Structure 1
């Protein structure tokens, strides 16, 4: 075993363990594969799970079902509408997840050399293929680096601001809480941008990301504790959460720009 978190004995970032899905979520995943492969047999290159269901630590009624779809070509407007209709149909039938998210990539972009540290890392280490062409097999294991952190989470200012705006417009408490959990998790994972280039570990849990944030920038330890709590059990006024989210994003942007 490695002495560093999140890596194997050879220093490579760990892949998701091969294990059966949690029984509560397995029927949903089976229906997802059957429905998408039947409705989009030529468009769909592969289906992948990521997040808590993929890791095997999903919480009934709280966790999202996170799915990456790799498509053979960029979908037309009509195909995009049909994919969204299928997502909503599945979501309405399966209350054991709080939401179903589709993260879509196009095959040519996924395999482009310039996207190696984004898509290559993502499919190799963060996903498990559940249907179709497993592109993760094409990539060698990755070692920890700031290059990967930047490729995966460098979009945090735009993503966090998007969550802030959605929260300001959310009509229900359930929707607000779902958005708060998602925003808090993105906020914590983005702290990986503060890693030193020579650090050999790789945070995999939200707690490890919070620890990294506190160690790298002790002045942000309050945000680490706040977002860790919000990631699991949102509470307090939404306006307060949005204010803290925007303040944290601005501070993190300043710290990441200062990184060598």
Structure 2
């Protein structure tokens, strides 16, 4: 493992700032047609005055996607909204791509309004995510003028310092999952979230960034060896949820509450969004 005083190989430049991960040049050849079709379908489904910019994130722009296993992740920055028509258009493109390309295991889009993304509330959450972990696909890079980011406790708090609030909902969804497919999908999403939360818990001490789930679990394990086995199991289940049918309940009743409490003790709670009038 790279030592905490050396940022080389840790997703940072020589000055300790995040280096944007991923690029269109890294998209593996089997996924190039998917990305091209995504661009074409977005242009068809969204009017130019609605869609400001589009981004890719995840394993495809990082160059680590596996045909038939990896999903297609995209983020759409809208002029305003998003509204029901925007969500319907996004869902339609997701379904069309999933049906047309067997090399992806589903497509999922995040939608956010430009003013919200660039507002103070999202400065250390979604704005950081887009600026550092998303690859520009179409339109201007709306985060280009933002200050650069370092792996600080503030960033850790504002990205994942709300697990204690989300945990009851996770348990409710797990209890309500009626089919194996639904359970697997939930296991995949929750385990990914827990591994990333575990990593950001120790991110400022480690002094770097990784999106690799296995590496994230190992970095976490270095600082919290008593919980290493559970975190490693979560990382494995995030890739192959069907192989771990009973793990989700164990994590939600063991690792997750410990992680939520420890996160609050180390970094504090993520700021609540402002209340409307």
Change in Cα spacing, 1:85 to 1:246, as seen in structure 2 (3 Å) is: farther
Report matched runs for 1:83-102 at 5 Å: 83-102=90-109
1:199 Cα deviation (Å)? 4.5
The answer to whether the 8 A contact 2:82-2:112 is kept is no
Paired position in structure 2 for 1:191: 198
Paired position in structure 2 for 1:26: 32
**SS of the counterpart of 1:73?**
coil
Question: Which of 112, 131, 134 is the equivalent residue of 1:124?
Answer: 131
Count of aligned pairs: 260
- TM-score normalised according to structure 2 size: 0.83
The answer to whether the 8 A contact 2:221-2:231 is kept is yes
User: Quick one: distance in 1 between partners of 2:202 and 2:244?
Assistant: 32
The answer to whether the 8 A contact 1:185-1:227 is kept is yes
The answer to whether the 8 A contact 2:203-2:209 is kept is no
The answer to whether the 8 A contact 1:22-1:53 is kept is yes
User: Quick one: distance in 2 between partners of 1:253 and 1:36?
Assistant: 38
1:230 Cα deviation (Å)? 1.2
Paired position in structure 2 for 1:75: 82
Structure 1, unmatched stretches of 5+, are: none
Question: Which of 72, 75, 100 is the equivalent residue of 1:65?
Answer: 72
Paired position in structure 2 for 1:104: 111
Change in Cα spacing, 1:30 to 1:245, as seen in structure 2 (3 Å) is: same
**SS of the counterpart of 2:241?**
coil
Paired position in structure 2 for 1:5: 10
Deviating more after overlay: 91-100 vs 132-141: 132-141
**SS of the counterpart of 1:179?**
helix
Structure 2, unmatched stretches of 5+, are: 1-5, 268-277
Change in Cα spacing, 1:244 to 1:115, as seen in structure 2 (3 Å) is: closer
1:71 Cα deviation (Å)? 0.6
User: Quick one: distance in 1 between partners of 2:170 and 2:59?
Assistant: 20
User: Quick one: distance in 2 between partners of 1:23 and 1:221?
Assistant: 35
Change in Cα spacing, 1:196 to 1:181, as seen in structure 2 (3 Å) is: closer
Report matched runs for 1:212-227 at 5 Å: 212-227=219-234
1:142 Cα deviation (Å)? 1.1
